[in-house]
Structure formats: C-alpha cells, structure tokens
C-alpha cells in the first residue's frame, strides 16, 4: 500500500510540474515575449538571458510585480533600463501572483541555461519592407482590409496623423511615431505579434494578428514615423474642419426650412396684411 501511495504522489508531482511548466511558458509567451528575448538581444526591453547574474532574484521579482514603482524609487539600474528603452515603461502585467512571479523567474533562469532558447529570436520572418507592404498595412490599420483572425480594427482605438476622417480613436495611444518609440522594426514586429498590455493582450490572444499581417503594419508605421508628421496637430485640424463643415450644413438646412417662412411673414408685414 505504501508503494502505491508513493507512486501516486510521484506521478502527481510530475504531472503537476509538467502542467505548471506549460502554463508558465504560455504566460511568458503572451506577456513577455513581445518585448524580451532570452539570448536574442534587445527588443523594446532588455535581453533576459542570465538576468539573475546581473540582479538578484528579489530585485527581479519586485520589478516584474511593479516596474514603475521600482523606477520611481530612484533605483539606478531601473533608470538605466528606462533610458535604454527610449522612455517606454514596462506595463504592469495583469493576473500576477507571487507564485506566478517566482515561476517566471525560474523559467527565465532555466531558459538562460540552455545553449539556445526557443525565445532567443522573434518568430516573425525577417525580410525587407516594400512599398506594397505600406499600402497593405494602411488598409489593415484603417479596417479596409479585415484582419485575418477577426481582431478589432486598429483605428477603432488608435489614431495616426492624417489617417481616418477624424484621425482615429482616442482610447489607445497615438501610433504616428510608434515605430521610433519602440525602437524600430524588430521590437515593433514582436509587439504586434503578441501585444503585452493589459488591454490588448487578452483581446489579441483570442484573435491574434497573423504573421503575414505584422510586417505590412510595421511598414505602414515606419512610413508614418519617417514622414515627420506631428501626432496631435493633424487630428485636431481634422476635427476643426469637420466642425466647420457640420456648422455650415446646419445653417444651410436652417435657411432651407425656415428662410422662406420668415421671408413670407416679412412680405405680409410690408404689405400691411399683418
């Protein structure tokens, strides 16, 4: 009987570890891989290979839990990371618990020990961007071409200078200069392939941007960044123009419906009929 219990405990422990490993890897892939590699160099955030040799585990866990708090504390290394990421602050990841944080640290250390981690490079194929990519990316951003996996259209939440009737949505940040802000082609492609923000992450986990759509979007954003258009100016200008056009239409309609009536009353007054 003892041997049976021992076998059950060992089997359960092995199974639990396997399931936990898969869950942690999935969590890393969804929330971390868009900004970090493990041995493949910097994306928006730093390469995490051997991070435990640069900082102790307590520091790493505190930073994962609340990056902004560590930065605000004046920590020198955190400020250095902020500078290297061009001022892009790592978002606070939703659903974190002390257990998940520890599991992430263990996962990164384990992947760091491998000669080549599967997270050592971006999954998106690297190739030159073309003018045709810009056209396709613009159509995807505006929703003229629907995303293959039925994800929400970018312009519904984001604006890009000069695009859309009113410049786009205001729920998310302006993406006019996102190519430069995130550090270029490779970091932006990784982010689009697996957005790590609390808002976009759950949505695009269910409806991911297809690999063949990522580079055209990157090309479109690169073209916008290189055009040196200011973010808010065009958006505000479009809004003002639409406002004036709307006012003009209202005045014309008012004249059509009420002008003749007022003129007929005035005529009767002049003729002494009123």
Structure confidence by residue, pLDDT tens digits, 40-79: 888 888 999 999 999 999 999 999 999 999 999 999 999 9
Domain positions in the chain: 2-112, 131-226, 240-274
| pLDDT number for residue 89 | 87
| pLDDT number for residue 272 | 56
Residues 6 or more apart whose Cβ sits within 8 Å of residue 87: 181
What is the three-state SS of 43-112? Answer: CCCCCCCCHHHHCCHHHHHHHHHCHHHHHHCCCHHHHHHHHHCCCCCCCCCCCCCHHHHHHHHHHHHHHH
| pLDDT number for residue 10 | 41
The secondary element (H helix, E strand) that includes residue 152 is: none
Averaged pLDDT, 227-232: 64
Tell me how far apart the alpha carbons of residues 40 and 46 are, in angstroms, rounded to a whole number.
Answer: 10
Look at residue 145 and tell me whether its pLDDT is greater than 80.
yes
| pLDDT number for residue 45 | 87
Q: Which CATH code of 2.40.50.140, 3.30.360.10, 1.10.760.10, 1.20.120.1460 fits the domain covering 2-112? A: 1.10.760.10
| pLDDT number for residue 218 | 94
C-alpha angle with apex 95: 94 to 101, nearest 5 degrees?
100
Averaged pLDDT, 66-95: 89
Averaged pLDDT, 8-22: 40
Averaged pLDDT, 227-246: 58
Averaged pLDDT, 263-273: 55
Torsion of the alpha carbons at 195, 201, 206 and 208, rounded to the nearest 10: -10
Mean pLDDT across the chain: 80
Helix boundaries (H) for 124-230: 131-142, 178-182, 185-193, 200-206, 211-226
Judge residue 270's burial from the number of C-beta atoms within 10 Å of its C-beta, 0-12 exposed, 13-18 middle, 19 or more buried.
exposed
Averaged pLDDT, 171-195: 87
- Considering the segment(s) 131-226 as one domain, its CATH architecture is Orthogonal Bundle (1.10)
2-112 with 131-226: one CATH topology? Answer: yes
Look at residue 211 and tell me whether its pLDDT is greater than 80.
yes
Structure tokens at 59: 């520091």
User: Which has the minimum average pLDDT: 64-73, 138-147, 240-249?
Assistant: 240-249
């Amino acid at each position: 009987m003892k041997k049976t219990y021992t076998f059950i405990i060992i089997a359960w422990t092995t199974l639990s570890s396997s399931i936990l490993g898969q869950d942690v890897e999935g969590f890393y892939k969804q929330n971390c891989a868009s900004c970090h590699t493990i041995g493949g160099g910097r994306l928006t955030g730093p390469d995490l290979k051997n991070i435990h040799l640069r900082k102790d585990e307590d520091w790493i866990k505190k930073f994962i839990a609340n990056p902004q708090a560590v930065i605000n504390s004046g920590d020198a290394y955190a400020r250095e990371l902020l500078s290297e990421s061009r001022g892009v602050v790592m978002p606070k990841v939703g659903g974190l618990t002390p257990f998940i944080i520890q599991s992430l640290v263990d996962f990164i250390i384990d992947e760091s020990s491998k000669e080549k981690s599967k997270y050592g490079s971006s999954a998106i194929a690297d190739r030159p961007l073309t003018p045709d990519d810009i056209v396709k990316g613009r159509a995807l951003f505006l929703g003229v071409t629907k995303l293959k996996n039925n994800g929400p259209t970018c312009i519904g939440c984001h604006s890009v200078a000069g695009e859309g009737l009113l410049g786009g949505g205001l729920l998310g940040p302006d993406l006019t200069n996102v190519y430069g802000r995130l550090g270029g082609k490779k970091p932006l492609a990784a982010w689009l392939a697996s957005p790590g923000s609390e808002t976009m992450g759950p949505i695009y986990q269910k409806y991911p941007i297809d690999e063949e759509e990522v580079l055209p979007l990157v090309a479109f954003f690169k073209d916008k960044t290189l055009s040196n258009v200011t973010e808010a100016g065009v958006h505000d200008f479009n809004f003002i123009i639409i406002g004036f056009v709307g006012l003009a239409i209202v005045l014309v309609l008012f004249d059509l419906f009420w002008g003749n009536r007022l003129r007929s009353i005035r005529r009767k007054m002049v003729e002494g009929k009123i």
